[in-house]
Amino acid sequence: MTNKKILILKNDRAGDLFTSITLISSLISHYQNITLYLSEYNEGFSFFFKKVLIKKIKFNLTIINKILIFFDIFFNKYEKVYILTPKSFYFILPLLFRKIKFYGIVYDSNKKFRPPIFLRKYLYKYKIVYRNKLNRKSYRELQSELIDDEIKLDLGHNALNIPKINHKLKILLPKEFILFQFRHLFFRQLGWGIDEFNYLIEQIKKKYEYILFSSDIEKNEFSNYFNNFFEENFSIIDTNNYTKKININHDKIFYLKNINSLNLFYLLKESKINLAKEGVFSHISYFHKTNCHNLFNFTIKSNKDYHHQKISYSEWCKGMKFKFSFLNNDIKKASQKILKNI
């Protein structure tokens, strides 16, 4: 291992962190002096990076965050900086620090380029994600190609601190179960409420005896309404206090209360299949090589819509080989689509 200083900028969503996990693991296996910036959305997964200095900043960079990063680079004289979250501010840094090698992912669309093309010449190495045509390689694969030849690609993620079996949680779980991710915004966009949720759960019961479901981490009036309903009407597994409460009306349907990133990581490995909107559940499932069925609320009305969705899939999901369903506000048709694939 070498003692050169490396900086990784990854203040992104939780699912996006897992698209970078192979690259980060490979860097950890080669360098012993790494600083990693995470956001409020993905810092819950910092348990992976015991050998790394973690610094937390906002997903939407504040002025203070920008000043902090600037002076961090100025005083620490990093050998390499990896821009894995394409914030506009980050692409100004190579212009200011010419002696440092900057690596990054850039975006090309019809007439929009992030960063502008003239700034790319200051990057030591970059890969392009296309937003207007199919990508031959996914975002995950392109990031792995940022690694220099002398660094071995850590496909087994051996440099990460991967949690072992959580025995306290394991004894609360049924032997076999489906894990469903409830997201209030997804339901809201489909025009679904409590009745639609109940109908969907009843349909899933036809194929799986035990159903576990999680709710949003974010708290707001709408999500709190659902969470209160869940606690009053379903059995509960409290993943923070490791307790179980049985509701006699739904003794095989469990609401996962107080779920955190560590326990979510474990549960997604233990489940038979994961049912979720494309995002963090999908990417963790891919990490574990467990099955996941992705849900989309994108209505395809034309060839243009279909082509747009294929481009998005090539960027984020290529190589996952998960099945997926496009849903609309008709809960009966949506449930039929889901049941065919789980």
Residues 82 and 189 in one domain: no
The CATH number of the domain holding residue 327 is: 3.40.50.2000
Tell me, yes or no, whether 330 lies in a domain: yes
Domain encompassing residue 68? 2-144
pLDDT of residue 89: 96
Residue 225, number of CB atoms within 10 A of its CB: 13
- The chain-wide mean pLDDT, for the chain, equals 89
Please tell me the predicted confidence (pLDDT) of residue 243.
95
Per-residue confidence band for 31, with pLDDT thresholds at 50, 70 and 90: very high
Domain contains 67:
yes
Report pLDDT for 188.
86
In a domain, 149, yes or no: no
- Whether 21 shows a pLDDT value over 60: the answer reads yes
Q: Is the pLDDT of residue 278 over 90?
A: no
The pair of three-digit structure tokens given for residue 326, joined into one six-digit string: 């496009």
d(CA 266, CA 38): 21
Domain shared by 121 and 171, yes or no: no
pLDDT at 316 exceeding the cut of 80: no
Written as one letter, the residue type at 259 is I
Buried b (16+ CB within 10 A) or exposed e, 118-151: ebeebbeebbebebeeebebbbbebbbebbeeee
Residues 137 and 172 in one domain: no
Q: Are residues 182 and 46 in the same domain?
A: no
Are 208 and 124 in the same domain? no
Shared-domain flag, residues 251 and 302: yes
Per-residue model confidence (pLDDT) at position 101: 97
Does pLDDT of 216 surpass 70? Answer: no
When divided into structural domains, the chain yields a total of 2
Average pLDDT over residues 38-67: 96
Confidence of residue 1 (pLDDT cuts 50, 70, 90): confident
Tens-digit pLDDT profile for residues 87-124: 999 999 999 999 999 999 998 877 677 788 889 999 99
What mean pLDDT is predicted for residues 20-28?
Answer: 96
Residues 138 and 178 in one domain: no
pLDDT at 71: 98
Task: Decide if pLDDT at 172 tops 80.
Answer: yes
pLDDT score of 90: 97
What's the pLDDT at 217?
60
Residue 197 has pLDDT above 80, yes or no: yes
Amino acid 113: pLDDT? 77
Mean pLDDT of 152-157: 93
pLDDT given at position 177: 97
pLDDT tens by residue, 226-264: 888 899 999 999 998 999 999 999 999 999 998 889 999
Interval 122-148: pLDDT, tens = 999 999 888 777 777 788 888 999 999
Name the CA dihedral angle for 312, 316, 317, 320, rounded to a multiple of 10 degrees: 170
Could you tell me if 255 and 183 lie in one domain? yes
Q: Mean pLDDT, to the nearest integer, of 155-180?
A: 93
| Residues 171 and 139 reside in one and the same domain | no
- Assign 333 a pLDDT band (cuts: 50, 70, 90): very high
Claim to verify: residue 126 and residue 222 sit in the same structural domain: no
131 shares its domain with 176? no
The percentage of residues in the chain with a pLDDT greater than 70, rounded to a whole number, is 92
Which among 33, 53, 245, 18 has a CA at the least distance from the CA of 144?
18
